[in-house]
Structure formats: structure tokens, C-alpha cells
Structure 1
């Protein structure tokens, strides 16, 4: 078929042709002309690829959206920066100001000493052996005669650069004084951390091996060396034996004999149905030797032990005399005084057997 469309007609039809608005017959005629006319074909290509010009109103809307987007990103960045700053401030406040409750025990690095040099007053001096920890927010609460001293552990700073601290506590109407979870004074008697640990670990039955292990761990037996536990609970007298693995000679153990009998007496008092305790050793030649303390023996010697102690410390609170060593487990103060009295019993030759 002869192509009867002129370039002028085709150029008029091209916009409609590109948008697909022309009829099939017109399409056929336009395409036949485009196949033979490079100029019109180039115009068709240009029309097909050219973007539709935006109206002035649309251009303004696009610019506005771009501005909003840029403003949104700036706000997001500012929010992230503020959040990071607040987080850093919170962490710093937690570490240097707020801290965490101090949970002191004998393994912590905060130490204290107690003094009763002033009548009716307990003076507590707190100090740390480490420079990377400080304490703040000291509080002293008295509820029904039970005083608790607490603090918070923080990192040193210009606000709190040391843990050295004094508390002066009036003992008027006070029955007990605690530092965190440790009893340090009861009824006129200063309580050592060791006796507080032993007292809190007390158990009624020597057959309860885990509980017995806690009692022994609270004492000082591990200072001598490793040991295994042997229980005799089939018949009375019920006996607890500590078999030490390292060789020791009588009188040559690192812990003195008097200190050994102190801990043995405390164990007899604090384990309800224990009748005897033995610390068994072997010397360098493998020869066995041991130290044994029984409830019967200790009960027999209590009057002498207590009388000697009270004579030595007549200015302090007298140690009570009970018929049975088990009665000293009734309070931490009684156990502390029995423990102290056993040291002087050893010094006086009642139990110390240095060879």
C-alpha cells in the first residue's frame, strides 16, 4: 500500500500515537511512514522518551516535600544524639552517683572496726583497701532497737573520692547493730564476721552433710589445708571427723592449737546433735595423730573456762555459764563469748597440747 501520509500529518498524529490514542488504521499508516522517514522516526523516539513537564504547582509541591524530608532527617539525627546523651548521663549517674546497694561480707574489700570506748556509744570506722571503689548514701535506721547501717557502692569521683567513713551510734535502747546483712554488735558484745557466719550456718543434724559443710566453711579449718569429712551417725556418740591431707606434726600446724580448739568448740555448739569432733592428721612419716573435743569434756570444763574469761575481762560483759555447750547457740553474742573464752582456755593450758 502506498504511504499517502505526509510528514506534517504524521507529526500531528505522533503525540496521540505515542499515547496510544490513534486507531489501528492510523497506527498502520503512521508506522509505515516512520519506517521510511528517519526524521519522523527520530521525533517519535524523542516524544516517547521525554518526561511530561510538571506543572508549576506540582514543582512547588515536590520542592516542599524535599524540604520536609530534609527537616525530618535532621530531627531524627537530633533525637538520636539526645538519646545517646541521655543514655551516657544515665550511665554516669548510675556509676558515680546512684551506685548499687553495698553487699558486704568477709570477701568484700570494705572493712570496718567497732569501738565502745565512749560509754553508751558504738563507733564504727569504715575503710576500703582499694582505691577504685567508694561508698555514699550512708543510712542508719533504727527499728525496734535493731540498727542497720547501709550504703551504696559507687565509682570514685570528685563527688565521692573515698570510702573512709565514721558512724557514731547511740546504744540507748539498741539490741543489735547490723552492717548490711552482718550482725556486728548484740547485747553489749561485738560480733566478729566469722562468728556471724558460723551462727547463720547452724544446723540441728550432723547427718546433713551439706549443712555441716557450710558450718565448717564458715570456720577457719581450711587455713590448715584441704580436708575430707567423715560422719559417724549410725550410733551415738555422733562424731564428725576432718581428715586433713597435708602432713603436719603436732604443734606444727599453721593455725595454733588454741585457734583449732576455738573452732572445734564452735562447731560442737552450733550443730545440734553432734557429740564429738576430731581433726585427724598425719606427720611427715605417715604416722596418724589427732585432736578430739567432745561435748561431755567441754561441758565439764565450762565452769573453769568461763570463770577464767570473766576474770580476765571483768570490765566487759560477763560470759554466761550454761550447763551445756549447745546453749551457746541460742544467740550470736553467747557464741562469740564462748569462742573468745576458748582462746584463753588454750592459752591457759586447758586444751593446747603443743609438743
Structure 2
């Protein structure tokens, strides 16, 4: 029993304090509790924790003490008027718990100090587990709010003299005034202080005036510091924006690169409207040279830069894009596409992203695709043109690592291009282009130089400011020496984007061509058609016209 006493005596003593017993009474009842426990130990069946059983005895013994000593007054709430000396003190917390009801106080104690479960607390007090849980959380919240309000009450009382003398900041004044509005005790204290102003001797007056002066100077210094910080921040942002510039990716630049064995020459222009190239930061790692392009606000301006090294240059990277690899110049289009290569054909979202970057829709119109094992099947709205099938298939099969073939379907026509057929046509292994950008470029160039491919011509139109009906029919005809060579037509909804833009690409034998656009049978004038034809379509005096744009 001595071991039990040593382990649980302090626990039972604190429990009795939580019931309202003063220290002397708690000590007396605790001794009686263990005396009764010794005589009743044979009745303990082990169905509950020993601490739960002892608390039940202590509760009964304290009730008997109250009945025998009606003059006994439980510990009152006068402690709340004093300061919170140490919020972390257990004795202090026990005293603060006196603001709670007796049941809430017992539950708080058994949970916090007894570490009892809500089921065990219910057994001690004869209530349900859920009632014990709800009462505990409500009591804890009430205690927290009371302690916070008491802290603020004491703080405001300490600050009232400075508040009267105007030594507190505007933010502090707001907190004090909000508390005064709710606390009658602090209001009375403020009134007493105002009614009985202290009489300062000359030395104290000088010291008081000095404190006010120091406060004014402190405020002035704070404002000065804030202004200095703002000036520094604005200066940094200005330098960063207009001198250092912003690192810009290749997709927003027009880059022309010339590489000699020990020298790189760049001509760079920013395509982002309202910005211009400011500087180039060069980095060198062995035979690899990297150029980082920075742009600043300004008008379009093409700039030239040069870099010379003592090492033989094999690879050149500009704005995150490889433009030279193993002695091969990499065209911008192929360099950008290679960055979107797909490892696994089953990743439909990445395949869709690659086709979008290839701008397939400008060749075939709206399209859908499906995957069949390692085969990609593309069904298009426009008729197939043999001149682009091989080139687009080469791009797809080179950039999707495990793709074996591409099937193009449109209006009952179907054409399949496989890896084996392209390998035989180009006398190489096109899959080498997946891991090597230079091999990818050489394969595309080899195909373009063969008899199987013609030159690509682009018709880029912006329709301004008229918005066309989606059901209107648009068509265009390409002529060479007045003779029609290509003609296509379709609905606006299939050809024209929401922003009124329209891009059509076609492969033709090298020559001089013109193109004429039609909307519901109304024709524009014939205009030159070349590899990069950019026009603006507008209606002037009830006549459709194509105006060249930069």
C-alpha cells in the first residue's frame, strides 16, 4: 500500500483542490481516502484504473467532510482579481479552474491531471462518456477565454498612466479604448487617475518632457526608415526591370545562330510585344556553350552578340533551346518540338500536347486521335494530302519513343506510315532522333531533300474586326500562273479560331503562287502566297480584302 500511496497521493491531493477544498482540508481528506482504501482494497476488482477508484473514494470522503463541517467554505474566486503570475503553474491553473462549475471542474482535473479517458471520467462521476467529453471541451474554451481577458485586463491597467500622458502609440490606444468600452473596472481606474493627477517636481517634469521628445523622435526615425526601405526596394525593382532584365525562353524569341569552331554569333529579337533584348549572359562547360537571354521593356529591336572561346565548340544552347549539336544547326521549330518528346505512347495527355505543338490542326483542320497499342490513329476533318503525311509521321514517330506507326484517316481514305517504312526510305534508323537532336534534324532534312516531300507554304490570316457566323462556308484556291493547283473549303467552326485567327499550311512544289479567299462565295483579290504569308482580312465598302501585315 505504501507504493500506491507514494504514486497516487499527490494526484488525489490535487483532485481534492479542484473540488474546492483548501490545502489543509485537502491534506486531511487525502489521508482519510487512503485509510478507507486500505480497508476496502479487497473490493477493488480491477475493472477500472486504480486512480479512478481512488478518486471515487476521495469524492465520497470530501462530501462526508462537507456534511460534518457545514461552516467550511470552498475556495472562492478571489484569485481572478489578482495578476496571472505564471500561466504554466499547475497550482495557478487549479485556482483558475474555480470559475468553472463543480462538475466541469472535476472533469477538467480528471482529464488534465488524471489522464483519464472520457469513459473512465463518466464512471467516476456517474455520467455518460459523451456528456463528459462535451462538458470538458466547453469548460476548456471558457477557461481559455477567461485567462486571455484577464491578461488583457492587467496589461491595460499597467498602460493607463502612459495612455493619459499620451505616450502610447495609436495602435495601442485603439486596443486600450476597445477594452475600456467593455471593462467597467478599468473605466473607473482611468477616471480616478484623471481626477488625481500627480504633481511633478521640476526634475520629474523635465524627465517627462524628455520622454515625450524621445517618442516624437522615435516616430520620426521610424518614418524615415520606412522611406529609406521603400526607396531601396523601388530602386532595386527599377534596376531589375530596366537594366538587369528578365530571363526569356526561346519560344518568345526569334534566334539566328552562326557557329564557328571557336566562336558563336547570335542575332536575337524578342517576339513578346513591348519588350526588347537587353543582354546575353554566356556560360561555358567544356565544349558546351550556353547563352541566357534577358529582355527589358521597350520596342522591338534586333541585336547581335558574339562569344569566343579557346575550346572547340560542339553544342550551343540559347535561351534553354539547343541550336547547335555535334556540328548540326538545329532549326527553331525542331528544337522546340524535341523538348516535348513523349516516352510512352499510352500517355494521351502528353501525346495531345505534342500534336498541338506540331500545329497539326493547321494542316488537317479539326481532328481526333486514338491509341491502339503502339499505333497512333488520327482522324481528320479535311481531306488528306500525301505531301505532308510522311513528314508529320516522321516527327511523331521520332518523338514518341515506343510508337510503331501512324494511321491517317479522312473521308474514307486511310494511309499508314510505319517506323520500318521510314527507315527504308531514309536508309537510317529514325528512332535515333529521340535521343539525339542532331540525328532528329538530319532525318528531317534528309526527308525534305528527297523526292517524297515538297516545300511548305503557310497562309496566316487575322479576321478583323468582323466576327463570322460559325455556319458560314470559307474556301480558298491556290493558283500558279493562273492555273488552280489546290482548293479547299469548310465551315468557319472547323477552320477559324475563336479569336478570328486562321492558319493553313500546305506542301507544294517550289514555285510562285497566289491565293484567293472566299466567304459564302464572296471572293477577295488574289495575293502572293509564299512560305510565310501573313494577311489581315477585312470588309471595305462591302468588299472582302486581304491586307498584308507584318
Structure 1 position 199 matched with structure 2 position 338: yes
After superposition, where does 1:308-319 map in structure 2 within 5 Å?
Answer: none
Q: Which residue of 1 aligns with 2:267?
A: 125
The whole-number CA distance in structure 2 between the counterparts of 1:171 and 1:240 is: 47
Q: Which residue of 2 aligns with 1:292?
A: 416
How far does the alpha carbon of each residue in 1:149-204 deviate from its partner, in whole angstroms, 9 at most, with x for none?
Answer: 113333349xxx95623235569621110013211111221112332243333345
The whole-number CA distance in structure 2 between the counterparts of 1:77 and 1:270 is: 60
Structure 1 position 112 matched with structure 2 position 255: yes
Structure 1 position 212 matched with structure 2 position 351: yes
Pair 164,217 (structure 1): closer, same or farther in 2 beyond 3 Å:
same
Structure 1 position 83 matched with structure 2 position 212: no
Pair 164,61 (structure 1): closer, same or farther in 2 beyond 3 Å:
same
Q: Which residue of 1 aligns with 2:375?
A: 239
The whole-number CA distance in structure 1 between the counterparts of 2:196 and 2:371 is: 99
Pair 276,353 (structure 1): closer, same or farther in 2 beyond 3 Å:
farther
Q: Secondary structure at the match of 1:325?
A: coil
The whole-number CA distance in structure 1 between the counterparts of 2:323 and 2:225 is: 51
How far does the alpha carbon of each residue in 1:92-117 deviate from its partner, in whole angstroms, 9 at most, with x for none?
Answer: 22222333333x132x2x2111235x
After superposition, where does 1:132-281 map in structure 2 within 5 Å?
Answer: 132-156=274-298, 164-168=303-307, 173-224=312-363, 225-233=365-373, 238-244=374-380, 246=381, 248-251=382-385, 257-281=386-410
Shift of 1:231: 1.5
Are 2:269 and 2:302, in contact at CA under 8 Å, matched by a contact in 1?
Answer: yes
Are 2:267 and 2:302, in contact at CA under 8 Å, matched by a contact in 1?
Answer: no
How far does the alpha carbon of each residue in 1:12-61 deviate from its partner, in whole angstroms, 9 at most, with x for none?
Answer: xxxxxxxxxxxxxxxxxxxxxxxxxxxxxxxxxxxxx7967543333333
Pair 149,72 (structure 1): closer, same or farther in 2 beyond 3 Å:
same
* TM-score (ref. length: structure 2): 0.42
Q: Which residue of 2 aligns with 1:41?
A: none
Structure 1 position 56 matched with structure 2 position 222: no
* TM-score (ref. length: structure 1): 0.63
Q: What CA RMSD, in Å, does the superposition of the two structures yield over aligned residues?
A: 3.3
Pair 55,136 (structure 1): closer, same or farther in 2 beyond 3 Å:
same
The whole-number CA distance in structure 2 between the counterparts of 1:76 and 1:172 is: 56
How far does the alpha carbon of each residue in 1:294-335 deviate from its partner, in whole angstroms, 9 at most, with x for none?
Answer: 2232233224xxxxxxxxxxxxxxxxxx2x332343411111
Q: Secondary structure at the match of 2:450?
A: helix
Are 2:262 and 2:313, in contact at CA under 8 Å, matched by a contact in 1?
Answer: no
The whole-number CA distance in structure 2 between the counterparts of 1:265 and 1:137 is: 37
Structure 2: 5+ residue stretches without partners: 1-194, 455-505, 509-550
Structure 1: 5+ residue stretches without partners: 1-48, 252-256, 283-287, 304-321
Are 2:256 and 2:266, in contact at CA under 8 Å, matched by a contact in 1?
Answer: yes
Pair 240,346 (structure 1): closer, same or farther in 2 beyond 3 Å:
farther
Match of 2:445 among 318, 330, 340: 340
Which structure's relative contact order is higher, taking Cα pairs within 8 Å and 6+ residues apart? 1
Q: Secondary structure at the match of 2:243?
A: helix
Are 1:220 and 1:263, in contact at CA under 8 Å, matched by a contact in 2?
Answer: no
Pair 52,139 (structure 1): closer, same or farther in 2 beyond 3 Å:
closer
How far does the alpha carbon of each residue in 1:87-140 deviate from its partner, in whole angstroms, 9 at most, with x for none?
Answer: 2222222222333333x132x2x2111235x78654320112456223444222
Are 1:141 and 1:149, in contact at CA under 8 Å, matched by a contact in 2?
Answer: yes
Are 2:315 and 2:324, in contact at CA under 8 Å, matched by a contact in 1?
Answer: yes
The whole-number CA distance in structure 2 between the counterparts of 1:208 and 1:131 is: 35
Are 2:323 and 2:331, in contact at CA under 8 Å, matched by a contact in 1?
Answer: yes
Alignment size in residue pairs: 262
Q: Secondary structure at the match of 1:97?
A: helix
